[in-house]
Structure 1
Amino acid sequence: MRTILTLGVVALLAACGADGEPIAPEKRGTPEPGIRISGAAEIGVSSR
């Protein structure tokens, strides 16, 4: 019973942000304007 209670308390502390204030993600630079398309396509019949 004590183990279940301890795990419950740890789960609550982890869920409420007890590890500190949230940190905002880093902002990336603005991508270059324009369209870029790349890829490959194949058509055919495969027999094994």
Structure 2
Amino acid sequence: MRILRLVFLISAGFALAGCGADGEPVQPSMSANVGVGSSGTYVGGGVGLRRGGLGVYLGI
């Protein structure tokens, strides 16, 4: 039981460090756009996260 508790505490520490709570903040971003062209209108957007040199972006 003690080993399981130790593994959980170590995992929680890694999760906390991975989310940016220990230093450099995570920078969220969001974009939205609407366009009009000869074939009609379109709507698009996306969300993203950036931390240091790593960025993840999901657009639709």
TM-score past 0.5 threshold: no
Task: Specify the structure having the higher radius of gyration (Cα).
Answer: 1
- Normalising by structure 1, we get a TM-score of 0.41
* Larger strand proportion of the pair: 2
- Normalising by structure 2, we get a TM-score of 0.34
Q: Greater relative contact order: 1 or 2 (C-alpha under 8 angstroms, separation 6 or more)?
A: 2
